[in-house]
A and B are shown apart, each in its own frame.
Chain A
Amino acid sequence: GQSLEQPSEVTAVEGAIVQINCTYQTSGFYGLSWYQQHDGGAPTFLSYNALDGLEETGRFSSFLSRSDSYGYLLLQELQMKDSASYFCAVRALRDSNYQLIWGAGTKLIIKP
């Protein structure tokens, strides 16, 4: 079957660095995406990794290791506005269609 695992909740302090891990088990893997969702809002795209390594976009970075079926989202210089849920999603080929298979999400709580 196909599955993704990520922690349900992570707590960090404003100004600090936090890493949200995601492990996956899937066939037809093409890449790993990360989405952010604020309470009451819609998910918004953050990053996509198709190749091994680290992709950096401002304060956010995303990492992928295809051999370990593992990725993470790294948030630096945390701000209160970063409090949100973060979803990893695997892009996989299923029945000739590319699909996004979603994790259950990690709620990031930031304390002042």
Chain B
Amino acid sequence: GAGVSQSPSNKVTEKGKDVELRCDPISGHTALYWYRQSLGQGLEFLIYFQGNSAPDKSGLPSDRFSAERTGGSVSTLTIQRTQQEDSAVYLCASSLGRGRTDTQYFGPGTRLTVL
């Protein structure tokens, strides 16, 4: 079946504007993750959903960042009043949510550039 999809693939915005990033997980995957990756760096965990609830929001860098998931499927990451340091690739991953041996499948990412 289809993999994880994300939209848009690229987003250029002006400082201070709000942006919404979308993730469509693999059908049937109950767990969904958002990560941020700056150029040449590792993955920075942002938030984890199990179903529609977010048991771990510890990675969100500030209150300008929020995320929601509806219907146990699509998730939206919203960044308000964007700053230049928000520029990065935002990756979404989903998994079956079986815990210990869970494998995460990643989408292609959204490259966000804040001017």
Contact = CB atoms under 8 A, between A and B. Distances in A.
Q: Do A and B come from one complex?
A: yes
Interface of A: 30-31, 33, 41-45, 48, 50, 87, 91, 94-105, 107
Contact of B55 (A50, A95, A100): A95
Q: Which 4 A-B pairs have the closest CB atoms?
A: A42-B106, A104-B42, A102-B43, A105-B42
Given A41-B108, A43-B43, 13 more contacts: A33-B103, A42-B107, A42-B109, A43-B91, A43-B104, A48-B101, A95-B55, A95-B56, A96-B55, A98-B102, A104-B41, A104-B42, A105-B41
Contacts of B65: none
Nearest to B101: A48
Contacts of A100: 33, 45, 104
Contact of B100 (A94, A98, A101): A98
Contacts of A48: 101, 103
A31 B99 CA distance: 11
A42 B42 contact: no
Nearest to A92: B100
**Interface of chain B: mostly helix, strand, loop or mixed:** loop
B56 A99 contact: yes
A42 to B, nearest CB: 4
Contacts of A95: 55-56
Contacts of A91: 100-102
B101 A50 contact: yes
Given A48-B103, A50-B101, A42 B43 contact: no
A109 B78 CA distance: 36
B2 to A, nearest CB: 14
B56 to A, nearest CB: 6
